[in-house]
Structure 1
Amino acid sequence: MYISGIGVARGYLNQPELTEQKFICNPFEEAGGSRLYKTGDLARYSSDGNVELLGRLDYQVKIRGFRIELGEIESVLGQYPNVQNVVVVARAEENGSPALVAYLTPQFADYQIRDLRNYLKQRLPRYMIPSTFVTLEKFPQTPNGKVDQKALPSPRFSSSVVPDTPPSNPAEEKIAAVWRQVLNRGKLSIYDSFFEVGGHSLLVVQVHHLLSLDYPFLKIVDIFTYHSIHSLANYLLQQTPAATSVSLG
């Protein structure tokens, strides 16, 4: 979104470099001399002719090779009935990998994160779905009334997406041990999806390498297909009886 007209300021006071960056020559005026102000906002015309604000261009981040517009995620989350305000940021997990974190203030207390995830799955690609959601009563603000992102609390990446259900057989215990090692997490439910607790395609390769030492028939695509501890363990147990006697060392 660019702004032009007689109401546009001349520039930033005592900041010539920022002024040159944000106030540019208007290419749509033949006479020249006027300027456009680069707001840094991403917007589009809706079907009814109104301008829809999608977010900030300077909120674009790159995670695992994907360029992600945080404002686009915020826009979709903001349409969820129970979300009053939302801010999406990129934070480093315990293992150092960047991850998307959604901070939100709900209109009502009785809502489930799983319902919110399912809502996003229908509207966004997997790599744009936050791995962690943090509920706040209100957002910390800067003196000028904007959200103070530096004051947002640190998320707890280690929490399970679903109620804890511990492993019940050697195959599940082996997979859970590998997940904890690769994801650098504590407790995990056997019904957690690998990709909802911080996993991604690069980490799948590590999981495959560690599990293939005991299950040489395992393929990388199998981990994408059976992406919970429970479903992957069932698959391994169905492939060979030897899987029941796997070593946990």
Structure 2
Amino acid sequence: VRLEPDGLIFCGRADDQVKVGGRRIELGEVDTALMALPGVSGCATAVRASATGTPLLVGYLVSSDPEFDLAAARAELDRRLPAALVPRLVLVDELPTRTSGKVDRDALPWPVGPESGADGLSGGGVFGGDPESTLGWLAGLWRDVLGAAIDDEQADFFTLGGGSLQAAQLVAALEQRYPQT
């Protein structure tokens, strides 16, 4: 906040508190949980937007373990954090830094592709078939809402970062495509 001749000017937050899905989240709290995961040597949490503009919490992990298990990491986070604080997990080789040495959250990659090892997501997905089929069309909606294509037919929408608002977007699109008579 700064005082101008016209009054107070609110400049925004200077800390790492963000709002996702109507909840205030301290990125540092999520970062602390990520760093406590076995095999993690670096991490950063950031908010990214899906193609539909939905904010998504994404946790970027650095690990030298070539067998790092994102599913096990996610399960551990599910035990440690409230559901709203569990981010989508993405493996990266390194974290970009600013000249100050702090992580440059704005430079973290987005959208993520299949090479990232994102949990249950990829750049192509197994549904790459006919987008006019119901399955292909629905997979495209998931991609738009969740920020990346789904690579597993058994993927859980909520585990992959979907919430009630995103589910409502899907229902509205389904009702538009398949109206009730």
Superposition TM-score, scaled by structure 1 size: 0.52
CA distance in 2, matches of 1:93, 1:198: 11
Is 1:58 matched with 2:21?
Answer: no
Question: In the alignment, which residue of structure 2 is the partner of 1:178?
Answer: 138
Q: Is the 1:102–1:132 Cα contact (8 Å) retained in structure 2?
A: yes
Larger radius of gyration: 1
SS at match of 2:24: strand
Question: In the alignment, which residue of structure 2 is the partner of 1:112?
Answer: 69
Q: Which runs of 5+ in 2 are unaligned?
A: 3-13
- RMSD over aligned Cα, in angstroms? 3.1
Q: Is the 2:139–2:149 Cα contact (8 Å) retained in structure 1?
A: no
Query: Size of the alignment, in residue pairs?
Result: 155
Superposition TM-score, scaled by structure 2 size: 0.69
Deviates more, 1:178-187 or 1:126-135: 178-187
1:203-244 alpha-carbon deviations (Å, 9 max, x no partner): 21233344467597xxxxxxxxxxxxxxxxxxxxxxxxxxxx
Question: In the alignment, which residue of structure 2 is the partner of 1:100?
Answer: 57
SS at match of 2:95: coil
Q: Which runs of 5+ in 1 are unaligned?
A: 1-16, 18-56, 168-172, 217-249
SS at match of 2:15: helix
Structure 2 letter corresponding to 1:141: T
Q: Is the 2:27–2:45 Cα contact (8 Å) retained in structure 1?
A: yes
CA distance in 2, matches of 1:162, 1:96: 18
Question: In the alignment, which residue of structure 1 is the partner of 2:152?
Answer: 189
CA distance in 2, matches of 1:215, 1:192: 26
Indicate how the Cα distance of structure 1 residues 110 and 152 shifts in structure 2: closer, same or farther if over 3 A, else same. same
CA distance in 1, matches of 2:104, 2:88: 21
Identity %: 29
SS at match of 2:18: strand
Question: In the alignment, which residue of structure 2 is the partner of 1:42?
Answer: none
1:87-107 alpha-carbon deviations (Å, 9 max, x no partner): 111112222211111122114
